[in-house]
Amino acid sequence: MAEEFLVVKDLHKSFNDFKAVNGVTFSIEKGEIFGLLGPNGAGKTTTIRMLSTVLKADSGEITIGGHSVRHEAEAVRSVIGVCPQDLAIYDDLSALENMVFFGRMAGLNGKDAREQAMTNLKLMGLQDRAKGKVSKFSGGMKRRINLAIALMGNPRLLFLDEPTVGIDPQSRNHIYENILGLQKNGMTILYTTHYMEEADRLCKRVAIMDGGQIISMDTPHSLKSQIGSPEQVTLEDVFLKMTGRSLRD
Amino acid sequence: MKRALYITLNEVRLYLQDKGDLAFSLLLPIVTFALMYGAFGGQTMFEATAVVVNEDGGNYATLFVEQLDEIEGIDVELQTAEEADARLERSDLLLALYIPAGFSEQLASGGKAEFIFKQRGNGGQEGQILASIIRSVAEEMNQEFQVREQVKSSLEGTGIPEDRIDFTVQKLLGEEREQPAVGVVEEVVGGSPDFISQYLPGIITMYVLFALTIGARTIVEERKRGTLERLLTTRLSVGALFFGKFMASVSRGFVQTVILLGLSYAVFRLFTPVSFLESLAFAIVYIAAASALGMIIASVARSEEAASWIGVVFTMFMVMLGGTFFEISEGSILEIISKVSINTYANDALRTIISEGGSLGDTALPLIVMAGVVVVGLAVSRMFFKVVSGGK
C-alpha cells in the first residue's frame, strides 16, 4: 500500500450555527492527484483552508507529511503550496518580483528564489514576461502566475482550489499538462474544480462533497459505474445525480 | 526576523510602484507645511497697520508720521477723515489716529498739541498694542521737543545763534538714542514660546498620526488582494507579518516627518542643528507608537472604508485631547482624560525641545510612554488579528 501523505479524520468546522464541514474523513497517497468536488457552499474551500493551516478546525485531526496541522503548523507550512481560488498576487509588481517574494516567504534564499522563480515561470510559459508588471497580464497569464507562485519552495503537497476558473482553453490545457508533470515528479495534489471533465482527466480518485460531508469517494471510473456504463456516462452525470439539480447560489 | 524584513521591503516596493500614492504621501507634508506657512506667515513678531488721518500736514505732524513708519512691524496707512470715519462706522477698523489741523503750529508756538484716537470699544487687542506704540513715539517726540525748548530758553540772551543751539541739541539727542543712559540687555535662555513653536508640534503629531492611521489599510488591502491568506500558508508567522508591516509604516512616517521638520527648520528657523536632530529622534519614537496604534486598527478593520473611518475618528480624538488647538487647563477633568492621548506626551516633548530649549533627556516620560505604546500596540494588534472574527 502506498504511503499516505495527507490524512484527514472526522473534520468539523462551524460558523455560528452553520456547519460548513461536518465529519469529513479522507486520505491522499503520496504522489496522487485527489479531486475534491462539490457544488457551491459544499465545504471544499473551508476544508482546504483548514488543511493549509489558515483556519482552525473545531475538531478532528489533520496530518500532512507526518506533521499535525494543529500542533506543528509551521512544519506543515514548510511542505505545502497553495494556489487559491481567487488570484492572490501583487498587481503592481512584476511576475519575477512576485515569485521571488513568495519564494523568500517559503524560506528560500535570494539566489535560490530567483532560480526557482525563473524555472517556474518557464514551466508556465511566462519566462519572456518575467519582468512585466502583472497588472498588464491577461487573465490566463495571471492564473498561471497564481499557480507558479504556489510552486515556490518546492512543496510536497499542492492545494489547487479551482485553478482554471475563467481562462481560455489554451491556458487551461497548459495548466493541466503542468499539473500532470508535477505529479510525475512525485508531488501530491489536492484539486478542487467545478469542471468535471478536468477531474475525470486528472484525478486518480475524487470525493464528492455536499452539505459539508463527503457523500461519495472513489475513482472516476468506479463512480461512473455506479450509475451506468463508464463509457456512456460522465462524471458530471454522477455529480448531478448525487448532489441534485437544485441551484446552490 | 528575515521574513519581517522582506515584508517591509515588499511594502516599500509596492509603495514606490504606486506613483499616485507616492506623490500624495510626499506632497502631503509639503502641502501641510504650506498651509502652516500660509496660516502663520512665517512671522514671529507683532505686525500691524496704523491708520493715520493727517489733517495738519505740517512739519511736526509729518515728522511724527515718519518716526511711526520707521518702527519695525508698523505700516502707516494715510487716510482722509471721511475714509477713516466710514471704516470705523462699519467696524472695518477698530482704531485710527487723527492729527488735527493746527497741530504743528501749536507746537511751534510753544503751546500744547494733542492727538486723537478714535476707536470702537477698546480698539481690539491689536489696536491697544498699536495705541501703546503710538503713545511711546509721541512721548519720545515730546521729550525731545521739551529738551530743545528748555535749552533754547536757558541760552536765551547769550548771543548763541539759534541754528547752533538746534544742531547741538540734535547731536546730543542722537548720541543719547545710540547709547541711552538706561539700557536693556537681552539674555536668551531658550527658544521663544511663540505661536509657531507652540503649535508646530501639535500640527506635526496630528499629521503623522493621521497619515499612519490611514496607512492602517495595509492589512485590509492585503486581505482584499487575497495575498494575506496566501502569506499565512507560508512559513511567515503572524508576528513577523505585523512587525514587517509596522517597520514599513515607520519608514514611511519617517520620510514624511523629515520633510515636514526639515521645511520647518529651513523656513521658520525654530531649531538649532542639535534640537533638530533631537526632535527627529523623538519623532521616530512617536512614529513607532503611532504605527503600532495603526496596526491595531489594521487588525480589526475589515474594509478599507472601515480602516479609514476608524483612523480619522481615532486621530481626531487623540488630537483634541492632545491639546493641539487649545490649551488644556491644569487640574481639569480634561487634563486627566488627555493622559490617554499619545499626542499629549508627544506635543509636550516636542515643545520642550523646540520652544523651551530642552534636550531629549528632558523627555524621559514621553519616551517611556511611547515605547510602551509600541510594545503594547504590537502585542494587542497581533492578538486582535487572531481572535477577531474574520481575522486569521
Residue B190 has pLDDT above 50, yes or no: no
Q: How many structural domains does chain A have?
A: 2
Residue B116 is inside which H or E element, if any? strand B116-119
The verdict on residue B183 lying in a domain is no
Which comes out higher in pLDDT, residue A138 or B203? A138
The string of pLDDT tens digits covering residues B244-274 is 988 988 888 888 888 888 888 887 777 788 8
Whether residues B70 and B200 share a domain: the answer is: no
Can you list the pairs that B178-181 forms with residues at least 24 positions away whose Cβ atoms lie under 8 Å? Answer: none
The verdict on residue B189 lying in a domain is no
pLDDT recorded at residue A226:
85
Whether residues A168 and A236 share a domain: the answer is: yes
Whether residues A67 and A160 share a domain: the answer is: yes
Domain boundary residue, one of B178, B208, B235 = B178
Return the amino acid letter for A150. Answer: A
Among all residues of chain A, which has the CA nearest to that of B236?
Answer: A105
Count CA atoms closer than 13 A to B206's CA, side-chain side.
18
Whether residues B201 and B70 share a domain: the answer is: no
The verdict on residue A84 lying in a domain is no
The verdict on residue A239 lying in a domain is yes
Cβ within 8 Å of A, B 187-226: 225-226
Share of chain A above pLDDT 70, in %: 98
Q: How far apart are CA B275 and CA B362, in angstroms?
A: 12
The verdict on residue A162 lying in a domain is yes
Q: A151 lies in which domain range? A: 90-155
Whether residues A126 and A41 share a domain: the answer is: no
> Which band of pLDDT confidence, cut at 50, 70 and 90, is reported for residue B197?
low
Out of B3, B6, B226, name the one closest to residue A84 (CB). B226
Check residue B7 and report its DSSP letter: H
Whether residues B276 and B358 share a domain: the answer is: yes
The verdict on residue B392 lying in a domain is no
Whether residues A103 and A171 share a domain: the answer is: no
Q: B161 lies in which domain range? A: 48-178
pLDDT recorded at residue A162:
87
| Pairwise CB contact (< 8 Å): B13 & A93 | yes
The CA distance from B3 to the nearest CA of chain A, in Å, is 6
Out of A53, A78, A90, name the one closest to residue B227 (CB). A90
The verdict on residue B250 lying in a domain is yes
The answer, for B125 touching chain A at a CB cutoff of 8 Å, is no
| Pairwise CB contact (< 8 Å): B230 & A88 | yes
Span A216-232, average pLDDT: 86
Give contacts of A149 with chain B, Cβ < 8 Å.
230
- Please tell me chain A's helix, strand, coil percentages from 3-state DSSP, rounded to the nearest 5: 40, 25, 35
The CA distance from B233 to the nearest CA of chain A, in Å, is 6
Among all residues of chain A, which has the CA nearest to that of B226?
Answer: A88
Whether residues A126 and A228 share a domain: the answer is: no
Residue B233 has pLDDT above 80, yes or no: yes
Best residue in A80, A104, A133 for a mutation probing chain B (most B CBs within 10 Å)? A104
B80 contacts: CB under 8 Å, gap ≥ 6: B53
The verdict on residue A221 lying in a domain is yes
Mean pLDDT of chain A: 89
Domain boundary residue, one of B124, B148, B178 = B178
Whether residues A170 and A230 share a domain: the answer is: yes
Whether residues B213 and B349 share a domain: the answer is: yes
Mean pLDDT of chain B: 83
Q: How far apart are CA A184 and CA B155, in angstroms?
A: 125
Span B154-172, average pLDDT: 81
Whether residues A44 and A11 share a domain: the answer is: yes
Q: How far apart are CA B252 and CA B246, in angstroms?
A: 10
Q: How many structural domains does chain B have?
A: 2
C-alpha dist (Å) from residue A67 to A60, A84, A185? 14, 22, 22
> Which band of pLDDT confidence, cut at 50, 70 and 90, is reported for residue A1?
low
| Pairwise CB contact (< 8 Å): B233 & A88 | no
Whether residues B74 and B103 share a domain: the answer is: yes
Helices B273-300 and B238-268, interaxial angle, to 10°?
140
The verdict on residue B122 lying in a domain is yes
CATH assignment of the domain containing A233: 3.40.50.300
pTM above 0.80, yes or no: no
Per DSSP, what are the bridge partners of residue B334?
A: none
C-alpha dist (Å) from residue B51 to B136, B137, B193, B265? 17, 15, 30, 35
pLDDT recorded at residue B201:
82
pLDDT recorded at residue B187:
63
Q: How many CB atoms lie within 10 A of CB B214?
A: 18
Q: How far apart are CA B128 and CA B123, in angstroms?
A: 6
The verdict on residue A85 lying in a domain is no
The verdict on residue B268 lying in a domain is yes
Whether residues A147 and A177 share a domain: the answer is: no
Lowest mean pLDDT among A45-49, B24-28, B124-128: B24-28
Residue B95 is inside which H or E element, if any? strand B95-99
Q: How far apart are CA B132 and CA B1, in angstroms?
A: 66
The CA distance from A22 to the nearest CA of chain B, in Å, is 20
> Which band of pLDDT confidence, cut at 50, 70 and 90, is reported for residue A26?
very high
pLDDT recorded at residue A104:
94
Span B42-47, average pLDDT: 62
Compute the radius of gyration of chain B from its Cα atoms: 31
pLDDT recorded at residue B43:
52
> Which band of pLDDT confidence, cut at 50, 70 and 90, is reported for residue B84?
very high
The verdict on residue B184 lying in a domain is no
Span A26-36, average pLDDT: 93
The string of pLDDT tens digits covering residues B323-363 is 777 777 788 888 888 888 888 898 889 888 887 778 888 88
Helices B2-17 and B238-268, interaxial angle, to 10°?
50
Return the amino acid letter for B57. Answer: G
| Pairwise CB contact (< 8 Å): A89 & B237 | no
Which comes out higher in pLDDT, residue B28 or A8? A8
The CA distance from B254 to the nearest CA of chain A, in Å, is 23
Whether residues B232 and B372 share a domain: the answer is: yes
Residue B304 has pLDDT above 80, yes or no: yes
pLDDT recorded at residue A145:
92
The answer, for B231 touching chain A at a CB cutoff of 8 Å, is yes
Residue B75 has pLDDT above 50, yes or no: yes
Q: How far apart are CA B133 and CA B50, in angstroms?
A: 10
CATH assignment of the domain containing B102: 3.40.190
The verdict on residue B332 lying in a domain is yes
Among all residues of chain B, which has the CA nearest to that of A152?
Answer: B234
Whether residues B93 and B201 share a domain: the answer is: no
Residue A15 is inside which H or E element, if any? strand A4-15
Among all residues of chain A, which has the CA nearest to that of B8?
Answer: A101
Whether residues A28 and A131 share a domain: the answer is: no
> Which band of pLDDT confidence, cut at 50, 70 and 90, is reported for residue B191?
very low
Return the amino acid letter for A160. Answer: L
Whether residues A148 and A161 share a domain: the answer is: no
Residues of chain A that touch chain B, judged by Cβ-Cβ distance less than 8 Å: 49, 52-55, 74, 77-78, 80-82, 84, 86-93, 97, 101-102, 104-107, 149, 153
Domain boundary residue, one of B178, B208, B236 = B178
Whether residues B174 and B242 share a domain: the answer is: no
Give contacts of B237 with chain A, Cβ < 8 Å.
74
Give contacts of A88 with chain B, Cβ < 8 Å.
225-227, 229-230
The CA distance from A84 to the nearest CA of chain B, in Å, is 7
Provide the grid cell at B152: 533754547
Whether residues B344 and B309 share a domain: the answer is: yes
pLDDT recorded at residue A245:
62
The verdict on residue A211 lying in a domain is yes
| Pairwise CB contact (< 8 Å): B237 & A74 | yes
Domain boundary residue, one of A136, A155, A174 = A155
Domain boundary residue, one of A103, A124, A155 = A155
Handedness of CA B29, B30, B32, B36 (dihedral sign): positive
| Pairwise CB contact (< 8 Å): A92 & B236 | no
Best residue in B230, B231, B238 for a mutation probing chain A (most A CBs within 10 Å)? B230
Return the amino acid letter for B55. Answer: E
Out of B3, B14, B226, name the one closest to residue A88 (CB). B226
The verdict on residue A186 lying in a domain is yes
The CA distance from B387 to the nearest CA of chain A, in Å, is 11
Whether residues A121 and A239 share a domain: the answer is: no
Domain boundary residue, one of A134, A155, A176 = A155
Whether residues B199 and B119 share a domain: the answer is: no
Which comes out higher in pLDDT, residue B211 or B120? B120
| Pairwise CB contact (< 8 Å): B229 & A93 | no
Whether residues B91 and B129 share a domain: the answer is: yes
Residue A89 has pLDDT above 70, yes or no: yes
The CA distance from A89 to the nearest CA of chain B, in Å, is 6
Whether residues B35 and B67 share a domain: the answer is: no
Span A137-160, average pLDDT: 91
> Which band of pLDDT confidence, cut at 50, 70 and 90, is reported for residue B389?
low
| Pairwise CB contact (< 8 Å): B233 & A52 | yes
pLDDT recorded at residue B63:
87
Whether residues A149 and A160 share a domain: the answer is: no
